[in-house]
């Protein structure tokens, strides 16, 4: 990772920001916004970024990916991201389901036990927003997913959002964060075939005090583009470097135990080789919480000895849909990833009308009309969840940062292919 360049990028937006304001309308617009939003609706303005065979849409509200088009095996564009066609509906979602569809979550992704942590003997308490006050999820009642980020840079193929967090939700100190989404098909050592690629960079700086920082992208994927009711029998997943996972209790708080994937739950968590997501899912009762069957689990990414740096970018996830022939390879510099198989979806949220029309035009069938249970999968690249409350893991250097520390960088690439 080129940390010097990230420091420059992180400082770039600082002078312009005094609060978590909506996107400024004065910026030029090479990425054309939706004509339906303007003025005070700038934070719901869609920015479209493109490269060959890949088109993405993002909005400032929650620094959020709302759509991603890539071709299937027959050359038809498919939207493989779960969400809404109307950007303003994400606000309604926040006020009702709060699914976190496509959002950047923080200041601290995932759960914090009892909403409490200590740094250098000083205890901090943040609002508990889940399980009747037993934990804090994704930053509290108003996390980064509900903030109006500012557009600080954009081009035809890239958008950067910036947020100045001045002690939001009682977290200590101030933090400035940048979320960059870019698309490309350029050939490189990491992408020798020039496949369509989305790159995400989450860069944060602690400005005033030591504080936990762990941002993550919360993108819901469906590679069969809702042509099937769920993903269990058509989508395979591989986690090639994940032989261990973090055990959790009945409300998904880490117990402190690290278990092996090949022995726990009769091997249901062993995805070191490609396996249908639904192959062993019936063996996972209570894995995703009390009475829950499915995956909502933090797998560790154990890099081989050949990778000298603990934050080296490594292939971490592969998904592939037999229905569309679309594959997705995720590489990241993070030490873990949370995979959630949409166990909590219950078919009450409609799929995008645009995708239904796309399915109807290509297949004569609109496909799934609603986001069903197991109808999507979330991949959060991040550090070990609730590491700030499990000092025996030794994760403080990767999760607690102060004004004397360098930037916190969550880097990931998403490469799409066909088979």
- Contact indicator for 181, 65 with CB cutoff of 8 Å: yes
Cα separations in angstroms, 165 against 93, 173, 175, 392, 399: 22, 8, 5, 29, 17
Alpha-carbon span 158 to 67, nearest angstrom: 14
Cα separations in angstroms, 343 against 127, 133, 145, 337: 25, 22, 21, 17
Task: Report the residue count for the chain.
Answer: 419
Alpha-carbon span 213 to 111, nearest angstrom: 13
Q: Is 43 a catalytic residue?
A: no
Q: Is 380 a catalytic residue?
A: yes
Instruction: Give me the catalytic one of 128, 252, 380, 382.
Output: 380
> Can you read off the two tokens belonging to residue 13?
């937006």
Instruction: Give me the catalytic one of 130, 154, 218, 252.
Output: 218
Count Cα atoms within 13 angstroms, Cβ side, for 372. 13
Running DSSP on this structure, what letter comes out for residue 84? -
> Can you read off the two tokens belonging to residue 196?
């369509």
Alpha-carbon span 48 to 337, nearest angstrom: 27
- Dihedral angle, C-alpha 150, 154, 159, 160, nearest 10 °: -50
- Whether residue 107 is preceded by a cis peptide bond, meaning omega within 30 degrees of 0, is yes
Residues with a known catalytic role: 218, 380
């Amino acid at each position: 990772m080129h940390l010097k360049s990230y420091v420059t990028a992180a400082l770039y937006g600082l002078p312009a920001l005094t609060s978590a304001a909506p996107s400024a309308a004065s910026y030029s617009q090479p990425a054309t916004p939706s004509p339906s939003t303007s003025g005070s609706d700038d934070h719901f303005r869609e920015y479209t970024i493109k490269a060959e065979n890949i088109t993405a849409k993002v909005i400032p509200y929650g620094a959020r990916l709302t759509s991603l088009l890539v071709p299937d095996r027959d050359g038809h564009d498919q939207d493989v991201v779960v969400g809404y066609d109307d950007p303003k509906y994400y606000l309604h979602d926040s006020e009702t389901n709060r699914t976190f569809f496509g959002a950047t979550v923080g200041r601290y992704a995932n759960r914090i036990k009892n909403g409490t942590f200590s740094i250098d003997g000083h205890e901090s308490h943040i609002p508990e927003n889940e399980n009747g006050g037993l934990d804090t999820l994704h930053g509290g009642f108003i996390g980064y997913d509900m903030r109006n980020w500012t557009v600080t840079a954009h081009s035809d193929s890239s958008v950067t959002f910036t947020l100045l967090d001045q002690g939001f939700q009682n977290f200590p100190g101030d933090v400035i964060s940048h979320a960059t989404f870019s698309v490309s098909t350029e050939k490189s050592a990491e992408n020798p075939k020039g496949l369509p690629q989305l790159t995400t960079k989450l860069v944060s700086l602690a400005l005033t005090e030591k504080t936990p920082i762990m941002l993550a992208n919360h993108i819901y994927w469906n590679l069969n583009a809702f042509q099937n009711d769920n993903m269990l029998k058509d989508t395979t997943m591989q986690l090639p470097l994940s032989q261990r996972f973090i055990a959790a209790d009945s409300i998904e708080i880490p117990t402190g135990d690290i278990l092996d994937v090949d022995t726990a739950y009769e091997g249901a968590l062993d995805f070191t080789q490609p396996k249908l997501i639904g192959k062993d899912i019936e063996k996972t009762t209570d894995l995703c919480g009390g009475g829950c069957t499915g995956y909502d689990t933090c797998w560790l990414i154990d890099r081989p000895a050949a990778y000298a740096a603990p934050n080296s970018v490594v292939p971490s996830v592969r998904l592939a849909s037999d229905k569309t022939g679309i594959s997705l390879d995720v590489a990241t510099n993070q030490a873990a990833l949370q995979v959630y198989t949409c166990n909590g979806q219950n078919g009450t949220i409609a799929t995008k009308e645009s995708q239904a029309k796309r399915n109807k035009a290509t297949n004569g069938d609109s496909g799934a009309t609603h986001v069903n249970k197991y109808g999507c999968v979330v991949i959060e690249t991040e550090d070990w969840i609730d590491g700030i409350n499990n000092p025996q893991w030794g994760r403080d250097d990767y999760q607690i940062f102060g004004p004397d520390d360098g930037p916190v960088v969550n880097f990931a690439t998403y490469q799409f292919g066909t088979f």
